[in-house]
């Protein structure tokens, strides 16, 4: 996995802009700790930082294709293409010669053969930029599910682009300005495809290409979820899910570096670990290595809740024992979670204050520890969105809610008035009113509903559940994928997400809801497809999300940080806060009452300081 960046300017010669391109490229060093390079010629400058995973000596970038002494195309690429072997064979049959084993060269040659149409032939997670000196055009491409990020910033005479906003913000012409819409996007816990918090910056939407010409910038959709008839019966459907998963995992176990799985003991990660264990053993590459995150004293002092009924530890150990995994727990304490350097590194990875708090920091620390042993990890993201695992798929009040279902709990906990919720409780009501968070969320929700593909003849239940699945896959999942990409790439760890394979996503998306819940539980199809691989305790375990620390010292430490912020009259976030609610939070001896909002406010303050943000509200 890698970091990419670049600059296209049709009105100037960029060969003298090495320093500017180096500065943009250097911001991506965390994504690519193994090597870096730039390519400058005429109106184009491309930068690349490399995390070497396949063909370590051969995949150097930016990679150029030449013929008769003329450069035909230059590629800066981030990702993994899991069908690169088949594509290599097809391209060879069409006359292309290869000098490396890398999937990078396959993507470069695919561009030369099919142009923008190459995206439709790739199976994987990727974001890349292809500069074509022959036509003086740049093509930006992002994978179907949006696993790998890619941003761009149109200029009067071209464009800037990068894997992360920080690469674009490093350019001298880009101010870090956030307006009301950008701040609303950040604090409302929505994820609008194509939106970036910074004014003038955009995200390449999943399943889209962006073409940059002298005449301007244009976007094109090459893939989206479609409404197709599902004709397979239940046994055939279960068998097809298992067949797809086996093929997906086999493809994603290919690496020239140490590989592992992230194991929580839930159905999703346990299924991946079990499949990986079997395939690695069959190839003589076992045992599978697995890692889990835990908190000091968490299992011993666990307090069950409706959201998290069981701790992960015992189930992760049961699965590891069952498949013979080489398993390690990464145990974190409050001091590590509150360490200012760790929190600063998370913000530096994320580029925005997303308010996940300890969940972000613990994920970063997990990946940091994993990276000492492995370069690639398989993770269970999107299984809940694909198979219907979250509570909101099954609770009548969330199914019926006229909003994003994951926001219902937050909205229900609004107790401070002024339209504020558990996340925004500390914000000034006048600011919340100016941002019109409720209106912003409603508008984004109805925009998403308008995209949902439906089949003629669907009954109301099937129609609504299709909508919820679409919302999860195109909105909520994007929040999780961004979080996982940034926190893993901050330490140079490549995280692969097998459940995001578009073949599996499309197949299950069109499976009737009654079939997805045929046993009366969440994720019925996945459970049926994997039950012979897993111990009974794991098969029967009720869904439990990513863990959060229950150590009361953590909430008290947050309150102490809030005290420090309140004592600083020059804290940049102070004008955004409601002083009365702030005093109430400071008076809470536990620090737990406004924990979510405290995390968000501390993050915003650190962000405003570090990125020198100009708020134009």
Active site residues: 2
First-residue to last-residue Cα distance in the chain: 37
Contact yes or no for 462/344 (Cβ under 8 A): no
- Which tokens hold the place of 144? 């179907």
Contacts of 173-179 with C-beta under 8 Å, sequence gap 24+, read 174/198, 174/200, 174/201, 175/199, 175/614, 176/611, 176/612, 176/613, 176/614, 177/613, 177/614, 177/616, 178/613, 178/614, 178/615, 178/616, 179/615, 179/616, 179/617
Residues 6+ apart with CB under 8 A from 348: 166, 490, 610
Contacts of 331-335 with C-beta under 8 Å, sequence gap 24+, read 331/294, 331/295, 331/296, 332/293, 332/294, 332/295, 332/296, 332/362, 332/365, 332/366, 332/549, 333/295, 333/296, 333/551, 334/296, 334/549, 334/551, 334/553, 334/554, 334/557
Instruction: For residues 68 and 405, give the distance between their C-alpha atoms in angstroms, rounded to a whole number.
Output: 57
The runs of H, that is alpha helices, within 306-395 are: 313-323, 334-338, 340-350, 358-370, 383-387
Residues 6+ apart with CB under 8 A from 90: none
Total number of residues shown for the chain:
617
E strands present in 471-603 = 494-496
- Which tokens hold the place of 116? 């923008």
Chain centre to alpha carbon of residue 332: 23
The runs of H, that is alpha helices, within 13-71 are: 18-26
Residues 6+ apart with CB under 8 A from 600: 187, 353, 355, 357, 423, 424, 426
Contact yes or no for 24/163 (Cβ under 8 A): no
Instruction: For residues 154 and 165, give the distance between their C-alpha atoms in angstroms, rounded to a whole number.
Output: 13
DSSP helix/strand/coil, 166:
helix
Residue 514 dihedral angles phi and psi, to the nearest 5° = -60, -30
Instruction: Give the number of C-alpha atoms closer than 13 A to the C-alpha of residue 433, restricted to the C-beta side.
Output: 6
Given CA atoms 80, 82, 85, 87 in this order, what sign does their dihedral have? negative
Of 572, 603, 576, residue with least CA distance to 349: 603
């Amino acid at each position: 996995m890698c970091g990419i960046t670049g600059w296209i300017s049709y009105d100037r010669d960029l060969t003298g802009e090495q320093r500017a391109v180096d500065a943009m490229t250097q911001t991506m060093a965390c994504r690519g700790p193994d090597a870096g390079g730039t390519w400058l010629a005429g109106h184009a400058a491309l930068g690349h930082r490399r995390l070497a995973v396949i063909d370590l000596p051969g995949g150097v970038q930016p990679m150029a294709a030449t013929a008769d002494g003329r450069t035909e195309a230059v590629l800066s690429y981030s990702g993994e293409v899991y069908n690169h072997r088949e594509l290599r064979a097809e391209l060879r049959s069409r006359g292309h010669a290869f000098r490396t084993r890398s999937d990078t060269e396959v993507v470069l040659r695919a561009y030369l053969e099919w142009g923008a149409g190459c995206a439709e032939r790739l199976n994987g997670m990727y974001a890349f930029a292809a500069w074509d000196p022959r036509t003086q055009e740049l093509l930006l491409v992002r994978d179907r599910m949006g696993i790998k990020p890619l941003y761009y910033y149109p200029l009067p005479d071209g464009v800037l682009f990068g894997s992360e906003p920080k690469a674009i913000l490093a350019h001298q012409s880009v101010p870090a300005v956030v307006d009301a819409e950008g701040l609303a996007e950040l604090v409302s816990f929505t994820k609008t495809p194509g939106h970036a918090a910074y004014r003038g910056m955009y995200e390449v939407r999943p399943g889209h290409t962006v073409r940059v010409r002298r005449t301007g910038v244009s976007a094109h959709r090459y893939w989206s979820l479609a409404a197709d008839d599902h004709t397979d019966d239940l046994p055939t459907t279960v068998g097809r899910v298992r067949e797809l998963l086996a093929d997906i995992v086999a493809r994603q176990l290919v690496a020239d570096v140490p590989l592992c799985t992230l194991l929580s003991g839930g159905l999703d990660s346990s299924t991946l670990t079990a499949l990986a264990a079997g395939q690695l053993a069959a190839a003589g590459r076992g045992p599978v290595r697995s890692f889990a995150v835990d908190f000091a004293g968490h299992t011993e002092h666990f307090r069950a809740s409706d959201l998290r009924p069981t701790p992960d530890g015992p189930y992760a150990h049961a699965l590891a024992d069952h498949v013979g995994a080489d398993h390690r727990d990464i145990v974190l304490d409050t001091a590590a979670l509150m360490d200012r350097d760790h929190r600063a590194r998370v913000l530096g990875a994320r580029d925005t204050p997303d308010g996940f708090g300890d969940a972000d920091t613990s994920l970063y620390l997990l990946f940091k520890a994993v990276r000492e042993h492995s370069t690639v990890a398989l993770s269970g993201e999107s299984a809940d969105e694909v198979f219907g695992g979250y509570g909101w798929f099954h609770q009548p009040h969330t199914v019926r809610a006229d909003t994003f279902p994951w926001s219902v709990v937050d909205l229900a906990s609004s107790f401070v008035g002024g339209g504020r919720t558990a996340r925004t409780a500390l914000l000034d009501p006048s600011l919340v009113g100016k941002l019109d968070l409720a209106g912003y969320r409603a508008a984004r929700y109805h925009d998403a509903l308008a995209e949902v593909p439906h089949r003629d003849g669907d009954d109301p239940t099937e129609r609504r559940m299709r909508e919820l699945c679409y919302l999860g896959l195109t909105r909520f999942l994007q929040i999780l994928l961004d979080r996982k990409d940034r926190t893993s790439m901050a330490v140079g760890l490549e995280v692969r997400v097998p459940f995001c394979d578009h073949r599996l996503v499309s197949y299950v998306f069109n499976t009737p809801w009654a079939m997805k819940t045929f046993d009366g539980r969440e994720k019925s199809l996945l459970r049926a497809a994997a039950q012979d691989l897993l111990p009974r305790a794991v098969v029967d375990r009720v869904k439990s999300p990513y863990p959060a620390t229950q150590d009361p010292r953590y909430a008290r430490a947050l309150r102490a940080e809030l005290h420090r912020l309140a004592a600083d009259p020059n804290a940049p976030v102070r004008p955004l806060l409601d002083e009365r609610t702030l005093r109430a939070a400071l008076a809470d001896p536990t620090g737990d009452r406004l924990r979510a909002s405290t995390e968000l406010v501390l993050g915003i303050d650190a962000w405003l300081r570090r990125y020198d943000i100009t708020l134009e509200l």
